[in-house]
Chain A
Amino acid sequence: MRFKLNRKKREVHLGDRVFAFILKVPSVALVLLLVSIAYYLFRNALPVIHKQGWSFVTTSVWDPVNDVYGALPVVYGTVVSSFIAILISTPLSVGVALFLTEIAPTRVGRVVGFLVEMLAAIPSVVYGLWGIFVLAPWLRTTVEPFLAKTMGFLPFFQGAPYGVGMLAAGIILAIMITPTISSISREIFNAIPRVQREAALALGSTRWEMMRLSVLQSARRGIIGAVILGLGRALGETMAVTMLIGNRHEVSASLFAPGSTMASIIANEYAEATSDVHVAALVEVGLLLFAVTFVINSLARLFISRGFRWGAPSNSPGGAK
């Protein structure tokens, strides 16, 4: 509607109008696609929504034999494994990006940056295999016993070390999202004007103070955006997580314990689900994943807009967006 109004007000070239239309079609189509996927998921989940109502999200027993489905453990597993991934990956990625833009010689920066981005090209099944044969045994024999010995008083580091489990899934996810976060951060750091760094140095900053004041301060918003993109990948990642998380539908405080995620349960059970309610339950898990992703992204966006206002120091000039 607005488009038509504008057209009356202003003289618009035919070519411009056609071009605007061409651009409009895919963006409207994308929104429609999103809505139709949500609708499809909702409609196909109806049998289990009718049968179980809210107990689907609040209970923990997942029993296809008796057609009782509680998705709490998989929601928990998705959120916790992604959270571990972000916790490990954010400092790592920002560190890599800082090193590549601020410290490393240009040539080294280019080579290392390329290698980090190569990590994104590895198929997730390969990450999963590497996880089973290298990461999990190392966690079982070295890392988990060490954590249990040093921090075993915390509920997160108790229980038998299996190798596979929530911790393994979180670590593999952290590795998988590092290229995303670090390469976006690198682009953002590169976009910050040189003069800003020079100003900081001229005022007598050390190299670290310069990075903190003129690079990290101005890039904060962009870094959070990069983290959100990484989080999106972590929430939906299926194959590598399925191979490493241990696939147990249980909420457990310990990170050594096996768990399962929304994506992994769908990948595991959809092909062989025969009862209608079972299929509907898996579709509702898909709907939940949709909802959880939506909520987390909205929260993160809210956080960015607030965070920017809190964080903006009075002495910092406009800087990069």
Chain B
Amino acid sequence: MKKFSALVLTLAFSLGTSAFAANMINGAGATFPYPLYSKWFSDYQKIDPETQINYQSIGSGGGIRQFLEKTVDFGATDSPMTDEQLSKSSIPVVHIPTVLGAVVLTYNVPGLATGLKLSAEIVSEIFLGKITKWNDPKLVTLNPGLKLPEDAVLVVHRSDGSGTSGIFTDYLAKVSPEWKTKVGAGTAVNWPVGLGGKGNEGVTGLVKQTPGAIGYVELIYAKNNQLTYAWVKNKAGSVVEPNTKSVSAAAAGSLKSMPADFRVSITDAEGKDSYPISGFTYLLVYKTMAPEQFKDKGAKIVKFLHWAIKEGQASAEPLFYAPLPKAMLSKVEAKINEIQAK
């Protein structure tokens, strides 16, 4: 009996997978947009039952590697591919920005529940190890109403390579020449000071447990876990609360200088409402998807992309992702139309 049911199960399973395999579109990459993407893929399947999308959130680096090796039909990444990586692809690559995210600074300062304000100078000096006390004159000047204690500042950063660190170090490299030469920007860097926590939860755990700690996490993670986070002074000089509106504003503020392939960092963006530590997340698609190789998948991916930047955008805000600014949509639309797939 047992044997028989096992046989039936195996049979059903193999039939099931072979039936779907032909239509299954495979993607892999960034973990940051995964909650939104999985909602998108399941919503889209209700509209177009023919299209099944399977997404593995293995991290941006892994996504780019698998995409270059063509083991997946599309990739996903938080930081755009470098010129060197692009040159490795035999088929030209298109970056499609889908939504935006932001990095916020969460802190645990004794006697301070909320209301901390930071500037580019202060953030970079804290992470360079130059500001070591919470009552540093620079912090006091920017936060006149707050009672800042004498406690030592403990920096907490991500220990695992991540797009969150990528956006954050990109911001620091832009605002601080010293950071740029000493440390640089990347998904994993040689941190001058501090402790490393694994993942958003590791950083949060260390910050919550250690008085005087400051660390950075994704806005979505901070919102979902009700963390306190700082407001940050932007390029225009206004102190901005990180939320989906100020993040979309940062993208809108960068629109004028946006290159045609969207491979751009929007940290330290122009505009008085822009939150300065923001970034796009992208889907990576091959520019030509020949029917011999991709069958009808190419056309399906293109159809999905059109849906994602129109109807799909509505699902972003409830999950705390910032939608693409309206002014940008026509540009992205035009980019999707450049993809050749039948």
In the complex, the answer to whether A269 meets B160 with C-beta atoms within 8 Å is yes
Q: With CB as the reference atom, state the residue of chain A lying closest to B186.
A: A65
Size bin of chain B's contact surface? 35 or more
In the complex, the answer to whether A247 meets B159 with C-beta atoms within 8 Å is yes
In the complex, the answer to whether A268 meets B196 with C-beta atoms within 8 Å is yes
Main DSSP-derived SS at the A contact region: loop
Which residues 62-117 of A sit at the B interface, judged by CB distance below 8 A? 62-66
In the complex, the answer to whether A242 meets B58 with C-beta atoms within 8 Å is no
Q: Which residues of A contact B202 (CB under 8 A)?
A: 132, 243
Binding site for B on A (CB under 8 A): 61-66, 132-133, 136-137, 140, 160, 162-164, 242-243, 246-249, 258, 260, 264, 267-274, 278
Contacts A258-B195, A258-B196: A64 and B206 contacting too (C-beta < 8 A)? Answer: no
Partner of A64, one of B59, B189, B198: B189
Q: Does B325 contact A (CB under 8 A)?
A: no
Q: Which residues of A contact B191 (CB under 8 A)?
A: 248
In the complex, the answer to whether B190 meets A61 with C-beta atoms within 8 Å is yes
Produce 1/0 per residue, B153-189, CB < 8 A to A: 0100001111100000000000000000001111111
Q: Which residues of B contact A272 (CB under 8 A)?
A: 59-62, 160-163, 187-188
Q: With CB as the reference atom, state the residue of chain A lying closest to B206.
A: A164
Q: Does B209 contact A (CB under 8 A)?
A: yes
In the complex, the answer to whether B62 meets A271 with C-beta atoms within 8 Å is yes
Q: Does B313 contact A (CB under 8 A)?
A: no
Q: Does B85 contact A (CB under 8 A)?
A: yes
Contacts A63-B189, A133-B209, A162-B154: A247 and B62 contacting too (C-beta < 8 A)? Answer: no
Q: What are 11 A-B pairs with beta-carbon distances under 8 A?
A: A65-B183, A132-B206, A164-B195, A246-B195, A248-B191, A258-B195, A264-B159, A268-B159, A268-B196, A272-B162, A273-B161
Q: Which residues of B contact A140 (CB under 8 A)?
A: 209-210
List 10 additional contacts besides A247-B198, A268-B160; criterion CB under 8 Å. A61-B190, A64-B187, A64-B188, A65-B185, A137-B209, A162-B210, A163-B210, A242-B198, A247-B196, A270-B161
Q: Which residues of A contact B115 (CB under 8 A)?
A: none
In the complex, the answer to whether A269 meets B209 with C-beta atoms within 8 Å is no
Binding site for A on B (CB under 8 A): 58-62, 64-65, 82, 85, 152, 154, 159-163, 183-191, 194-198, 202, 205-206, 209-210
In the complex, the answer to whether A247 meets B197 with C-beta atoms within 8 Å is yes
Q: Which residues of A contact B187 (CB under 8 A)?
A: 64, 272-274
Partner of B184, one of A65, A243, A258, A274: A65
Q: With CB as the reference atom, state the residue of chain A lying closest to B77.
A: A274
Partner of B190, one of A62, A267, A273: A62
Q: Which residues of B contact A278 (CB under 8 A)?
A: 188
Across chains A and B, which 6 residue pairs bring their CB atoms closest together, nearest first? A247-B196, A272-B161, A247-B159, A271-B59, A65-B184, A272-B61
Q: A272–B194 Cα gap in the complex (Å)?
A: 21
Q: With CB as the reference atom, state the residue of chain B lying closest to A136.
A: B209
What distance in Å separates the Cβ of B206 from its nearest Cβ neighbour in chain A?
7
Q: A66–B183 Cα gap in the complex (Å)?
A: 9
In the complex, the answer to whether A64 meets B186 with C-beta atoms within 8 Å is yes
Partner of A65, one of B65, B160, B163, B190: B190
Q: A289–B324 Cα gap in the complex (Å)?
A: 45
In the complex, the answer to whether B188 meets A269 with C-beta atoms within 8 Å is yes
